[in-house]
Structures are given as structure tokens and as C-alpha cells.
Amino acid sequence: MSSTVQQPAIDAQAVLRRLGIEPVNSGVCWGEWIANPSGGELVSHSPGDGSELARVRMASEAEYDEVVAQAAKAFEKWRLFPAPRRGQIVREIGDELRACKDDLGALVTLEMGKILAEGLGEVQEMIDVADFSVGLSRQLYGLTMPSERPGHRMYELWHPLGIAGVITAFNFPVAVWSWNALIAMACGDTVLWKPSSMTPLTAIAVQHICNRVLDRHGWKGVCNLVIGSGSKVGERMLHDKRVPLVSCTGSTAVGIHVAEVVGERLGRTILELGGNNGIVAMDDANLELLVRAVLFAAVGTAGQRCTSTRRLLLQKGIAATVTDRLIHVYKQVPIGDPLDAGTLMGPLVSRSAVQDMMRGLERIREQGGEILYGGERVDLPGGCYVQPTIVRARHDMPIVREEIFAPILYVMEFDNLDQALEWHNEVPQGLSSAIFTTNVISAETFLSARGSDCGIANVNIGTSGAEIGGAFGGEKETGGGRESGSDSWKQYMRRQTVTVNMSNDLPLSQGIQFHI
């Protein structure tokens, strides 16, 4: 296993300059950047080597209110702008993202720590979502229903909702924004973005990109940015009745708080919260596919995806073989500078994330888990590097029910599919899942009502790497939200049922007679 950091070929400071990032930046924008916001200063460090990238001046509550007022003002006009023309503006944002893909992908890697291939892939995902949203702008369909009353027509209209609040996490600092923002824009909403305090520079770069497009068309206040503390800006957004929808990606604990506060004012929420994703591998599985899928899903992004594989349930006939193969390939994983093309696993996002992993491993040992491989810090600049870890575990260990946001894989042996399904579904989270089998009965059972209880279920594919065309999200403590594909656009709009009486009579529904 390699653990050396090579000199990156990418000039970080040049990347920052090309994306409009200054040594000190405003983190508040409604199309116009608010100079010197008064919410304090935030320093962005690269987990790759611990270096300071740039500083950001954050929003206070007063500046938050200024941005929301501008977003509300812009919504009054944006909602009346024809949806296909809104889609053309989203298309131009997609074109700007294509032009900036290399630099923005590199910035994702610099600020968050995922390897460069994944940073570039995240920007490609934004581009794909833009394309999806352009098509969607011509397909905001409503149903037509037959009326039971003669001379009447009944149908649905979908109208823009208002300001869509988007709270994103550090692990996908730009892609998750696009899932929400680009679709919301096509639907006629304006967008208010509060990014993670761990990744403010990527948000500023995206705001610059959006500003360039919107300025060409004379729009301000459609895409808005408020970087600030959760206790001030975040809480203000949750309580703000001017923001009818809050989409939040984060931990289950944070999501519960969001649901409580927004629900109390009868606002809407889209919640994409914790994942504790499992793969069930049957004796008849294709082992080459299985090992490759587990490696990517468990080690990719250093285990910091909400869809990362945390639990591997192996039928006893293949358990020893697969475990040995995984240990072998884990030993080959190159760990180091995420900008190095040869690196497969970069750092965790922060030193505190490393500490959380080490504390989790202590609890695993206390509960009887056996570390089969890894579990140690890796001594590299920045102090955020760890070994990916394989643990032999029991399904009933309390810690197996929790999500540790790190590259820890629990391996468990089961007897039959019924037992595997019971163990798979007993955790409180329900995001992504997979089964590896060549038996159609096993596959269909996993996909049936008594199978996986997750929002995403795959066959012979790992738990991570969801496509944007399918609605993304999960059940149980994952929050129940759905983002991006399918008909998730309906969450960003309000439904209106319309009945038109084209007759000269006034028949009542259900045959009610009411004569004067």
C-alpha cells in the first residue's frame, strides 16, 4: 500500500484565481456580492496537506435577511418567465460548468479531499443534472382527470413554490446543490444556498459561474449564497416562513432538527440523511464483480459518501474467500495526495474526522469486533490520512447500527437469504443496498416487498454511484426525501387542481342537491 504524497501537477493558486477565489472572499451573494459581511471569518484548509487555501467572510442574520429579500423579489418575476426559457438559462449554466470542469473538479479535490477523478466526476454530475433540468423545463406535466359532472373539465396545474433553501454537506460540495438548485430553477423557484462550512470555496466558485450566466440575461436574486454558521444563518433559514422548502443533506440528528423546526411552521422538507448501506453476497455471486464493487463503494471518497458500503453480508460458502481477497486488494490501495493520478484514497475531510474514526474503532474492539486489516493513521502531511479498515463483526453489535463516516467495512457471515434480509434491514437507516447473485429468485426476493427496505436497491452493482435520472434518497432515519431524477421536481412546485364549468348548469359533486 503506497502512502507517499507526490508534488501535485496542479497549481492550486492558479486554480483558485481562475475560479474567482481571492485570498479573502465575501460569502454572501444575491447576484451582487455583499462586501465585508459581518458574520465573522472562516478559513478553508486543504485536508490534502493542511495548507490554508483562502478565507471567507460569513453572513450575519442581517445580511441573510437582505439576501432573502432579494430572492423573494426575484421570485415574483422568475415564476412568470416561461419554463422553457428558464431551462435555456440552466443549459447555459451547464455550458459554463463544462468550460470550468477541470478547475472546479480540482477545487473540489483541494478543499474536500476526494481524489481528482471523483472531483471531476462530481462536476460532470452537475453537468448531467443541468441537461436533465433543461429537458424537464418542457415536461412539467399535470394530469387531466374525467369529471363526474357533465360540462366540466378537471385537471392539474403545477406552479412555482417560492424560495428553495438548500443546505449541503461537505462530501458532495457542489453536486448535491445542483440536484436541488438546477431543478428548482427550471421549476420557477429561486434558490438560497447554505453550504458546509468545511467547503465554502467550492460554493463561491459555483456562485461566480451562475452569476456570469444570470448577469447576461439581466437576472439577479435567482441563485443566492449565504455562507454562515449553523447557529445563526442555518437556524434563521429553518424558521423563515419566506422559505417554503428546505432541502437538507446531513446527519440524521441534524435532519431531525430540520424536520421539527420547518414542520412546526408547516414548511416542506427534503431530507437526505445518514446511510448504513449493506451488500448481501450469495454463494453464487460473481466474485470478481463483488470484490471490485465493494472496494469502490467502501474505499471511494475515503468512506465519506452517504452511499458508502458499511456492511458486507457474506453467505458462508464464499465468506472466507471473499474476505481474503478484500484484505489482499485493500493492501494494494494507494493512499496519498488526492491530486496525484495514482491515488485511490485521499484523506478524510479533517483531523476531527480521523479522531471520530479512531474512537469508533475503540468501540468496535470493546464490542468484540476483530480488525482484520487497517485501522491505523497514515503519517502524511495534513494529518487526515487513515488506512481503510476491514472488521469481522456480529450483526447485533450496537455500533453496527450506527454510521461512522469513515472507511470501515463490517464483514458478517450468514446462512441463508432470509437471515441476510433480517440482518440487512435491522439497522435504522435505509438509503442504499445491493445484492450480488446470479440466481433470479434471490435477486427478485431482494427487490420484493419483503426484501431490501432501502430507497435504493441494486443487483450486481455496489451501493454507491447512483445515476441522476433516478430519484435519490432513502427510508427510515435516512429521512424519506428524494432528490434529482424521476418526478422529484414536484417537491419544488405546488399542485393546483382546476375544475372548469363550461355549461350553464351548476351540478354538485357526489350528486348533492342544494336548491333555494
Single-letter amino acid code for the residue at 467: E
pLDDT for residue 9:
73
pLDDT for residue 491:
97
Q: Does the pLDDT of residue 510 top 60, yes or no?
A: yes
pTM of this structure: 0.95
- Is 66 among the residues known to form the active site? no
Which pLDDT band holds residue 1 (cuts at 50, 70, 90)? low
401-441 tens-digit pLDDT: 999 999 999 999 999 999 999 999 999 999 999 999 999 99
Q: Does the pLDDT of residue 8 top 70, yes or no?
A: no
Q: Does the pLDDT of residue 336 top 50, yes or no?
A: yes
pLDDT for residue 465:
81
> What's the distance, Cα to Cα, between the start and end of the chain in Å?
88
- Is 384 among the residues known to form the active site? no
Which pLDDT band holds residue 3 (cuts at 50, 70, 90)? low
CA distance linking residue 341 with residue 279, whole number of Å: 29
Q: Average pLDDT of 344-366?
A: 98
pLDDT for residue 466:
83
> What percentage of the chain reaches a pLDDT higher than 70?
98
Residues ≥6 apart with Cβ < 8 Å to 166: 176, 177, 180, 181, 184, 191, 192, 193, 194, 246, 247
The answer to whether 488 and 482 have CB atoms below 8 angstroms apart is yes
pLDDT for residue 2:
52
Domains of the chain with CATH codes: 12-39+54-273+479-495 (3.40.605.10), 277-468 (3.40.309.10)
The residue from 118, 272, 477, 483 that is catalytic is 272
CA distance linking residue 107 with residue 124, whole number of Å: 14
Nearest residue to 210 (alpha-carbon basis) of 25, 30, 76, 80: 30
Which pLDDT band holds residue 509 (cuts at 50, 70, 90)? confident
149-188 tens-digit pLDDT: 999 999 999 999 999 999 999 999 999 999 999 999 999 9
Q: Does the pLDDT of residue 58 top 70, yes or no?
A: yes
Pairing state of beta strands 245-249 and 268-272?
Answer: parallel
pLDDT for residue 514:
84
93-109 tens-digit pLDDT: 999 999 999 999 999 99
Q: Average pLDDT of 132-160?
A: 97
226-248 tens-digit pLDDT: 999 999 999 999 999 999 999 99
| Residue in the block written with cell 484523506 | 347
Which pLDDT band holds residue 459 (cuts at 50, 70, 90)? very high
What does DSSP assign to residue 511? G
pLDDT for residue 5:
47
The residue from 306, 384, 403, 477 that is catalytic is 306
> What own/partner pairs with CB < 8 Å and gap ≥ 24 does 388-396 have?
388/298, 388/299, 388/302, 388/303, 388/330, 388/333, 388/345, 389/361, 390/323, 390/326, 390/327, 390/330, 391/364, 392/323, 393/364, 393/369, 394/368, 394/369, 395/313, 395/423, 395/426
Q: Does the pLDDT of residue 286 top 90, yes or no?
A: yes
